[in-house]
Structure 1
């Protein structure tokens, strides 16, 4: 299965960081749209201890050809030492919307 579009998930420490990252990704045409979901709770293991934090989740829509560059850019801008950046294929969707994603992320 090959999909031309991706949904990236990325957690952020707070809404302000999430907003700044979202604006930068859209401005640089790495993302067509970024949804910001505040108020998530993350439980994870870090440095051999279970941690819990309030975070903000980014849902980033982009084209498959922009994923590597988008991940690299998020890594540069993100305050976490090891940020959560996960890309999932978008296998189906409204064709008009996906065409819009293509138009917004073409370099």
Structure 2
């Protein structure tokens, strides 16, 4: 996984087509290889959290599978998340769930 991603990231996610349209996220990213757990994620206002397993990594983007471990009744259990490094050092966050709902946001290092 590219070093610039290794940090704790926070921001606001905006979701279309879901019960919550705006919510904060905190992601603690560590290193790893495809198939390994690389992050812990928390959605405090939704009262849920989980882990990410790396699918693919490129120089400026990573794609992971998010699995919710706590608060499953409040969050979609499994989604695909892509983080893309921006020129200013921020990260663009995007998820797609099984029902086609999309969430997007800009994250900052904490």
Alignment TM-score, normalising by the size of structure 2: 0.33
- Of Structure 1 and Structure 2, the greater helix share is in 1
Alignment TM-score, normalising by the size of structure 1: 0.34
- Of Structure 1 and Structure 2, the greater strand share is in 2
Task: Name the structure, 1 or 2, with higher relative contact order (CA <8 Å, separation 6+).
Answer: 1
